[in-house]
Amino acid sequence: MYDLFKKYTVVSWGEFVRRVIRDDACIEETDKMLVRDFLGVHQSTPEGIGITRVSGKKDKNGNRLGLFDEGELLWHSNEAGNLIFTPGVALLAAENVIGSSTGFLQTADYYESISEVFRSELDEMVLLHRYTPGKLNPGLRDDLARTNMCPVDDAEIPIVIQSPGGIKGLHYPVNTVHGIRGMSKKDSDKVFEEINKHLFLDKYIFDHWYKNKGDLLLFDNSITLHRRFRECSKPLVLSYST
Ligand SMILES: [Fe+2]
């Protein structure tokens, strides 16, 4: 958004979208496509609040209606590699959700469990993020999710942060985590291996298996990862970031 605002000297997203809708000749076609794709996976509440569809559904012309493709969504945080990521997310189960789950991995207990030496190393550590197609949602090979997850390669975010609830943990969204500032890729991967071995354990995971259409999940997106586990027929969940 920042790049688009600068490029076209607009002051709001709404103004930019209106210019795209009226097919403003001053806006390049690739930028128009980006906005049209973005609008295609969003809908508004009656109050005008924008929400994102999490679904692999398509309309009768084959146009995507949701941000992702069908299949599992692997561990991630929303806007994972963006310094101004949203701290909280709400999910509303809208269609065909029974038989699938959204799972959560909390990192606070892991952070408390490690040695003081390693904890102080993590306290100083800055991660480099990159978006890799297919790493979050194996079936998704296009780039719309890049704008949400990590629009700029090698974005830097500290690994240890405090959640809005005041709890220290890891901002460690493995879908975009790529390296550690000041370390080779090989050494970074060794550190990630060590973290992964002790973090991705059942004791830190809670899977919510949807029981009803209308289930509402509210969760921290700063030091918590989430995933969609197992696929059922074209589930649709509405996502609101706050
Ligand atoms: Fe998500």
pLDDT in tens, 74-102: 999 999 998 889 999 999 999 888 888 99
Number of domains, the chain = 2
Q: Global pTM?
A: 0.88
Assess whether 21 and 71 both reside in one domain: no
Q: What is the pLDDT of residue 120?
A: 98
The CA distances from residue 3 to 32, 78, 147, in Å, are: 14, 20, 12
Instruction: Tell how far the Cα of 76 is from the centroid of ligand 1, in angstroms.
Output: 6
- Pick the residue with more confidence: 241 or 29? 29
Instruction: Tell how far the Cα of 4 is from the centroid of ligand 1, in angstroms.
Output: 24
Instruction: Tell how far the Cα of 226 is from the centroid of ligand 1, in angstroms.
Output: 6
Q: Which residues contact 232 (CB under 8 A, 6 or more apart)?
A: 96, 97, 98, 99, 100
Lowest mean pLDDT among 52-61, 98-107, 152-161: 52-61
The CA distances from residue 36 to 22, 80, 139, 148, 220, in Å, are: 12, 23, 21, 15, 29
Assess whether 30 and 92 both reside in one domain: no
Q: Which residues contact 46 (CB under 8 A, 6 or more apart)?
A: none
Residue 229 has pLDDT above 90, yes or no: no
Q: Which residues contact 56 (CB under 8 A, 6 or more apart)?
A: 64, 66, 68, 69, 70, 71, 139, 234
Assess whether 24 and 46 both reside in one domain: no
Assess whether 84 and 48 both reside in one domain: yes
Assess whether 22 and 61 both reside in one domain: no
Q: What is the pLDDT of residue 242?
A: 67
Residue 233 has pLDDT above 70, yes or no: no
| CATH number where 193 lies | 3.60.130.10
Assess whether 17 and 68 both reside in one domain: no
Assess whether 142 and 80 both reside in one domain: yes
Neighbours of 132 (CB within 10 A): 12
Q: What is the pLDDT of residue 192?
A: 98
**Domain range for residue 19?**
1-40
C-alpha–C-alpha distance, residues 136 and 78, integer Å: 11
Tokens of 31: 């930028």
- Pick the residue with more confidence: 147 or 178? 178
Mean pLDDT for the stretch of residues 121-126: 98
Assess whether 13 and 55 both reside in one domain: no
Q: State percent of the chain over pLDDT 70.
A: 97
Assess whether 4 and 77 both reside in one domain: no
Instruction: Tell how far the Cα of 130 is from the centroid of ligand 1, in angstroms.
Output: 16
Instruction: Tell how far the Cα of 78 is from the centroid of ligand 1, in angstroms.
Output: 5
Strands in the chain per DSSP E = 42-44, 50-55, 73-76, 88-95, 101-106, 126-129, 155-158, 160-162, 168-170, 177-180, 205-209, 216-220, 224-229, 236-241
The runs of H, that is alpha helices, within the chain are 2-8, 13-21, 29-40, 108-113, 116-124, 144-149, 185-199
Instruction: Tell how far the Cα of 225 is from the centroid of ligand 1, in angstroms.
Output: 8
- In the block, tokens 């001053």 appear at 26
Assess whether 21 and 62 both reside in one domain: no
Assess whether 35 and 72 both reside in one domain: no
Assess whether 185 and 230 both reside in one domain: yes
Instruction: Tell how far the Cα of 24 is from the centroid of ligand 1, in angstroms.
Output: 33
Phi, psi of 222 (to 5 degrees): -95, -50
Residue 232 has pLDDT above 80, yes or no: no
Query: Which chain residues have CB less than 5 Å from ligand 1, an ion?
Result: 78
Instruction: Tell how far the Cα of 181 is from the centroid of ligand 1, in angstroms.
Output: 26
Lowest mean pLDDT among 27-31, 71-75, 144-148: 144-148
Burial of 54: CB neighbours in 10 Å, binned 0-12, 13-18, 19+:
buried
The CA distances from residue 97 to 136, 140, 191, 229, in Å, are: 19, 20, 36, 11
